[in-house]
Amino acid sequence: MVAEFDPIMKEHIRRAQAREIQYTYLGPKIQNELKHMLADEMRSAIVMKVKHAKYISVILDYTPDASHEDILIRGRFNKLVNGLGLFTELKNVLSNLELDIDNIRGQGYDNGTNISGRHKGVQKDSKTKSEAESLAIYELENFEFLLGMVIWYKLLHTINTVSTFFQAENMDIDEAIKCLQALILFLKKYRETGFSSAMDEAK
């Protein structure tokens, strides 16, 4: 199938069929080995980005079994995990990837009472709940934080409006220049008077 669109693969298969080469690397064993190597490289690259970002969110998919018990499907590890043991399983996976569970700042679950935490799920972790409440009280309600949000919203909203116009299929170059000039004028004006107006809005 790949050879139909890839000339290198097409030539490789031709040589294999003509017995011009002894090793084809097309058997299931080598293919699985290559897939595992690619998966390991991708996982390492993703983990590196996650560690750089520090804070993470987790999303877990599962399906109810015949008895309506929440079952987490984890094809990568080739096994099923009961929802009640999900927290332990999550800790093990994060530990194997050398990621700190205390850096989780978001959780996503599709359906299920056990997994979502109404009974014994992941959200029963009291430390995470305490840190979330602390973040809400001491950071989100902090005046400096609110002021920063007001400033960034104003700036990013204005820049995004111009950026969206630039990406339109029927974008006119003369109008684009006018938009860019207006953006520069806005930024200059905001640098002079924006802080005081942002202070008022934050208050």
Asked if residue 60 is part of any domain, the answer here is yes
Domain with 148 in it = 142-202
Asked if residue 187 is part of any domain, the answer here is yes
**Do 74 and 42 share a domain, yes or no?**
no
**Do 94 and 39 share a domain, yes or no?**
no
Cα first-last separation, the chain: 63
- Nearest C-alpha neighbor of 194 from the set 160, 162, 151, 143: 151
Average pLDDT per block of 10 residues along the chain, 203 residues long:
90 92 86 91 89 79 53 42 63 85 71 48 61 69 82 90 86 88 92 89 86
**Do 42 and 75 share a domain, yes or no?**
no
- Nearest C-alpha neighbor of 196 from the set 140, 159, 150, 142: 150
Torsions phi, psi of 48, nearest 5?
-60, -40
Domain count, the chain: 3
Asked if residue 110 is part of any domain, the answer here is yes
The pTM for the full model equals 0.39
- pLDDT given at position 145: 81
Q: With contact defined as beta carbons under 8 Å apart, do 83 and 112 qualify?
A: yes
Torsion, Cα 75 115 49 34, to 10 degrees, reads 0
- pLDDT given at position 42: 92
- pLDDT given at position 127: 63
- pLDDT given at position 20: 92
